[in-house]
């Protein structure tokens, strides 16, 4: 999975890059790192004031604008607003939400919001930006998914489904867009120390990673495109090995490492502010 898609090393300096969900967490860390390495970065986020402030602090020609990734019209408006960064070389589809809870108690509006942001957001971004890349004969799309896009976890069923979809979409578009000169990578972090994962414990033996560490992996993917990158990388090997075992052994290992309960064991008081922000209002 980590075989380079291209053997040619690409320099980040001079590239024009879009990062979605760039007002906070992984998106913000990624935009800051890429700008520091010489890229011209366009930051999109639902919170226009926040993301414009982040872009101002980054400097280096960075621009920020409102972007609702669930809306194709919003994508068109965003691209017009950040047109000064020039033709887009790289799109980092990072925006995502993670409301947690039992699927039997999950309101329909919450399920729809998760799918809209985490799945339609990536699809809309690809459809908005990839045509220009195809016209120029080169480009790179980096989709930020999650380890639960390969390992489903209870009390985050819809979130797991959305990330499985992100992985599947990445794999399909990688094949479809390659003849057009467009690389597609997918990044799968474990628990990341951001607001999205507030109160979520890591599996036993798997230390939480930082947004900066994920940003560094995204930057490495841009320099040398690869199909699939995990953060931390060693978890990928363990996951592959475990998937070959009989189901009862997989379940026993998940229980031993507490991987099966990381979401159900989340500290709800620590998550209250985040959950209130990303959940649609009760109808």
pLDDT in tens, 6-23: 556 889 999 999 999 999
Map residue 59 onto helix, strand or coil: coil
Is residue 7 in some structural domain? Answer: no
Q: Which residue's entry shows tokens 């989340």?
A: 266
Residue 193 within a domain: yes
Q: Would residue 268 count as lying in a domain?
A: yes
* Residue 265 three-state SS: coil
Nearest to 142 by CA among 218, 37, 236: 218
Check which CATH number belongs to the domain holding 29 and give it.
Answer: 3.40.50.720
Residue written as token pair 């597609």: 184
Nearest to 89 by CA among 227, 183, 224, 173: 183
pLDDT the model gives residue 60: 92
- The set of residues, in sequence order, having a beta carbon less than 8 Å from that of 226 and lying 6+ positions away, is 1, 2, 3, 4, 5, 185
Whether 210 is in a domain gets the answer yes
Q: Give the pLDDT confidence score for residue 232 in this predicted structure.
A: 73
User: Which whole-number Å values give the CA distances from 79 to 7, 128, 129, 271, in the listed order?
Assistant: 30, 8, 9, 33
Q: How far apart are CA 247 and CA 249, in angstroms?
A: 5
Our count of domains for the chain comes to: 1
User: pTM here?
Assistant: 0.90
Catalytic residue among 75, 78, 159, 230: 159
What stretches of the chain adopt beta strand conformation (E)? 16-20, 40-45, 63-66, 90-93, 139-144, 182-189, 228-231
pLDDT, position 253: 43
| 42 falls within a domain | yes
Domain span at 219: 16-278
Cis peptide bond upstream of 46, omega within 30: no
Alpha-carbon distance 255 to 276, whole Å?
30
Spatial distance between the Cα atoms of 59 and 36, rounded to a whole number of angstroms: 9
Give a yes or no: residue 3 inside a domain: no
- Residue 74 covered by a domain: yes
Task: Flag residues of the chain having pLDDT under 50.
Answer: 1, 234, 237-238, 241, 245, 250, 252-254, 256-257
- Give the separation between CA 169 and CA 108, rounded to whole angstroms: 23
Q: Has residue 45 been placed in a domain? A: yes
Contact assessment for residue 183 and residue 174, using Cβ atoms and an 8 Å cutoff: yes
**Can you give the pLDDT at residue 9?**
81
**Does residue 159 have an active-site annotation?**
yes
Task: Starting at the earlier edge strand, list the strands of the sheet with 16-20.
Answer: 63-66, 40-45, 16-20, 90-93, 139-144, 182-189, 228-231
- Looking at residue 4, its pLDDT comes to 61
């Amino acid at each position: 999975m980590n075989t380079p898609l291209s053997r040619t090393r690409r320099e980040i300096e001079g590239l024009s890059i879009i990062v979605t969900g760039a007002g906070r967490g992984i998106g913000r860390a990624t935009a800051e790192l890429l700008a520091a390495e010489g890229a011209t970065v366009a930051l999109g986020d639902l919170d226009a004031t926040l993301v414009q402030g982040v872009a101002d602090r980054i400097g280096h020609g960075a621009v920020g604008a409102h972007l609702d990734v669930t809306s194709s019209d919003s994508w068109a408006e965003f691209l017009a607003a950040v047109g000064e960064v020039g033709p887009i070389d790289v799109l980092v589809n990072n925006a995502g939400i993670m409301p947690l809870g039992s699927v039997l108690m999950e309101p329909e509006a919450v399920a729809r919001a998760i799918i809209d942001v985490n799945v339609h957001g990536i699809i809309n971004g690809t459809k908005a930006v990839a045509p220009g890349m195809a016209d120029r004969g080169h480009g790179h799309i980096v989709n930020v998914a999650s380890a639960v896009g390969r390992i489903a976890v209870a009390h985050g069923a819809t979130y797991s489904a959305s990330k499985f979809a992100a992985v599947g979409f990445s794999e399909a578009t990688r094949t479809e867009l390659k003849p057009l000169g467009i690389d597609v990578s997918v990044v799968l972090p474990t628990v990341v120390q951001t607001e999205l994962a507030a109160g979520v414990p890591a599996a036993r033996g798997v230390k939480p990673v930082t947004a900066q560490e994920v940003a560094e992996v995204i930057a490495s993917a841009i320099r040398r495109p690869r199909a699939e990158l995990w953060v931390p990388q060693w978890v990928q090997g363990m996951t592959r090995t475990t998937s070959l075992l009989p189901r009862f052994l997989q379940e026993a290992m998940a229980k031993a490492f507490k991987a099966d309960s990381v979401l159900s064991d989340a500290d709800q008081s620590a998550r209250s502010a985040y959950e209130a922000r990303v959940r649609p209002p009760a109808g």
